[in-house]
Chain A
Amino acid sequence: MSGAVKTESVPLRTALGRVRGLGSAKSGVHHWWVQRVTAVALVPLTLWFVCAVIALAGEPLPVVRAWIASPFNAVLLLCLIGATFHHLQLGLQVVIEDYVHSEGARLVSLLVMRAAAVLLGLVAALSVLRIAL
């Protein structure tokens, strides 16, 4: 073996990445953790909700409203709505970040998705509160 192999020190961050200031936002662990917290919360909440919906299948509106209006059910429904839309928003964020490559389209998709999640979550929560209060 003769002659030196040309080597250069390669920084872990690319030059362009450094210039644009796009490094770790120190929020990755938080995203990961909250996704797990909401997932754990959704395990009992989902089981409870599926059982409740099966029991309510085909029931007339007054029965459904009375069920929603019970404080126990209303509180659990609000928890379910909060955990579902938070978990959903975190999951879809990762999907969008993985598949939408153009920066502009990615930003727009993330904003639209988050707006939809917040709006739908609020509609669901307000519906429960309107029936319960």
Chain B
Amino acid sequence: MDTREATYRGHKTDGAPVRRPMSPHLQAYDMMQMSSATSITHRITGCALAVGTLLLVWWLAAAAAGPDAFATAQSFIGSPVGYLLLFGWTAALFYHFLNGIRHLAWDLGYGFEIPTMYKTGWAVVAGTGVLTLLAWIVGLAVQ
């Protein structure tokens, strides 16, 4: 038996054994609430960004390796699939960046009130859209 499994073992007041629920008690939550939706999106974008660092490592390693490797990397990044990945990476980055700042504010004790939490949640969503579009408009304009 796993130690985690052991923590599920409990007793009712009459002594009968009972299996305690798992926390977080996912069945009890509406995952489309601002609190849970922004939270799980933070985790998903974090995982996506971790995979996306492959692109960063490739870009740096190709620049160090020489013209051929760099041309290969650039042609992939400039391809439709590359653009799609880069667009997703940009959006994930700005989301994780903005929502991360929201988390840091919570760590300092600010913004816990429910209406504030909704406002900052929407601000993160809107900010992600604006910054992603802005980055791409400027990026494509300077090319």
Contact = CB atoms under 8 A, between A and B. Distances in A.
B143 A95 contact: no
B3 A120 contact: no
B139 A43 contact: no
Given A22-B3, A57-B143, A101-B2, A10 B11 contact: yes
Nearest to A62: B67
Interface of B: 1-4, 6-7, 9, 11, 13-15, 43, 46-47, 49-50, 53-54, 56-57, 60-61, 63-67, 70-71, 90, 93, 97, 100-101, 103-104, 107, 135, 138-140, 142-143
Contacts of B143: 57-58
- Grouping DSSP codes into helix (H, G, I), strand (E, B) and loop, the A interface class, with mixed when no group exceeds half, is helix
B91 to A, nearest CB: 12
Contacts of A20: 3
Interface of A: 5-8, 10, 14-17, 20, 22, 36, 39-40, 42-43, 46, 50, 53-55, 57-58, 61, 64-65, 68, 77, 84-85, 88, 91-92, 95, 101-103, 120, 123-124, 126-128, 130-131
Contacts of B135: 50, 54
B50 A88 contact: yes
B47 A7 contact: no
A131 B63 CA distance: 8
B119 to A, nearest CB: 21
B142 A57 contact: yes
A40 B135 CA distance: 22
A126 B64 CA distance: 9
Contact of B138 (A54, A95, A123, A126): A54
Contact of A7 (B13, B49, B65): B13
